[in-house]
């Protein structure tokens, strides 16, 4: 059931934008582009949070790193898309590797706090660099350039982001089911037993953390291209919270959970922000309800499971 809904969502995302354009509603293409980028980011978070039980509260840092990996070269009039992607993935992976090596030595709330602290360090580092706009952010005047495809075209950009989402979904799906995925899932369930079996799972966790960071960096690069304007605000801790919200709302560890969560998030944001300026309050309540009554999130509800 939840797989079916997931596939239907993907089909709608594949077919939706041209229809929106044909109906004279380009606005929806924008919304869907943002959705697809955030869903990819949330899916990468699901690898460590859902499958590995690592509650990173700093995942938006990688969105920021990915976006600035496009913005800073563009500031110097370097528009090569492959270079942007290489920088986004490499810097995200490096940052994840370095900070994960420390954070993964802690557990529980300490892990949450330390991942958040590392992300805030990036946030303030970027704020302090006047050259790149500091607080005010940076405008990307020309999007990443690739041979054959032109991201200046809204529909092309959309499908590029969609391809990143599909790739991220497929990769997380494969990794989660592999031997490696079994180890991080086992360590999430029972560290003591895994150690007694002979797993030095710290290394597996660090590898998963690095992979998730790198993947999220890629979606950040796409998001940066889409918004044309990047600022430290993209990696604020509340953004990390939103990614967690999407994963938990959608269903941790379910393949399409983060996609459903991201869709529900953007929908709610759209509806509620038109209704009240305190639109985050109902979000909080909703999250509490999900955690209390529907641990499997939307994907779990579709499976008829309350967990």
Using CB under 8 A, list all residues that contact other proteins: 174-175, 177-183, 185-186, 188-190, 192-201, 204, 207
Q: Residue 36 and residue 189: Cα distance in Å, rounded?
A: 30
Given the complex with other proteins, which of 174 and 281 has the nearer CB atom? 174
Looking at the Cβ atoms of 8 and 195, the one nearer to other proteins is: 195
- Contact (Cβ atoms closer than 8 angstroms) between residue 297 and residue 257: yes
Q: Residue 11 Cβ, how far from other proteins at the closest point, in Å?
A: 24
Closest CA to 149 of 162, 139, 137: 162
CB atoms within 10 A of CB 185: 17
**Smallest gap from residue 261 Cβ to other proteins (A):** 20
Signed CA dihedral, 40, 45, 49, 52: sign only:
positive
In the complex, what is the shortest distance from the CB of residue 147 to other proteins, in angstroms, rounded to a whole number?
28
Cβ distance to other proteins smaller for residue 139 or 171 = 171
The residue among 192 and 277 lying less far from other proteins, judged by its C-beta, is 192
Name the 3-class secondary structure at 93: helix
The neighbouring-strand residues paired with 139 are 229
Report the nearest approach of other proteins to the CB of residue 46 (Å): 15
Residue 201 beta carbon to other proteins: minimum distance, rounded to whole angstroms: 8
Question: What is the CA 284 to chain-centroid distance, rounded?
Answer: 19
Identify which of residues 143 and 204 has a Cβ nearer to other proteins in the complex. 204
- β-bridge mates for residue 260, sequence order: none
- Residue 70: CB minimum distance to other proteins, A: 27
The residue (of 26 and 307) whose beta carbon lies closer to other proteins is: 307
Which two tokens mark 213? 């960071």
Complex with other proteins: residue 148 or 200, whichever CB lies closer: 200
Distance of CA 255 to the CA centre of its chain: 14
Nearest to 242 by CA among 86, 119, 58, 71: 58
Contact in structure between 50 and 254 (CB atoms under 8 Å): yes
Determine contact, residues 248/260, Cβ cutoff 8 Å: no
Cβ 171 to other proteins shortest distance, Å: 9
């Amino acid at each position: 059931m939840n797989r079916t809904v997931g596939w239907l969502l993907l089909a709608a995302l594949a077919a939706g934008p041209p229809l929106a354009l044909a109906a004279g509603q380009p606005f929806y293409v924008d919304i869907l582009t943002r959705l697809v980028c955030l869903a990819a980011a949330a899916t990468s978070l699901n690898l460590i949070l859902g499958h590995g039980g690592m509650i990173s509260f700093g995942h938006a840092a990688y969105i920021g790193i990915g976006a600035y990996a496009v913005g800073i070269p563009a500031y110097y009039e370097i528009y090569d898309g492959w270079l942007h992607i290489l920088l986004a993935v490499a810097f995200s992976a490096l940052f994840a590797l370095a900070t994960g090596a420390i954070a993964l030595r802690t557990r529980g709330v300490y892990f949450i706090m330390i991942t958040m602290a590392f992300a805030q360090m990036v946030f303030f580092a970027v704020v302090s660099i006047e050259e790149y706009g500091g607080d005010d952010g940076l405008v990307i005047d020309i999007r990443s350039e690739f041979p054959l495809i032109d991201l200046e075209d809204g529909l092309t950009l959309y499908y590029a982001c969609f391809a990143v989402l599909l790739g991220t979904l497929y990769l997380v799906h494969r990794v989660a089911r592999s031997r490696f995925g079994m180890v991080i899932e086992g360590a999430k369930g029972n560290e003591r037993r895994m150690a007694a079996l002979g797993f030095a799972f710290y290394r597996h966790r660090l590898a998963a953390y690095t992979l998730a960071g790198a993947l999220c960096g890629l979606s950040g690069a796409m998001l940066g291209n889409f918004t044309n304007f990047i600022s430290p605000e993209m990696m604020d801790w509340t953004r990390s919270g939103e990614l967690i919200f999407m994963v938990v709302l959608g269903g941790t560890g379910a393949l399409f959970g983060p996609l459903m969560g991201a869709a529900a998030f953007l929908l709610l944001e759209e509806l509620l922000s038109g209704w009240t300026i305190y639109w985050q309050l109902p979000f909080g309540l909703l999250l509490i309800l999900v955690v209390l009554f529907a641990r499997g999130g939307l994907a779990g509800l579709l499976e008829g499971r309350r967990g």
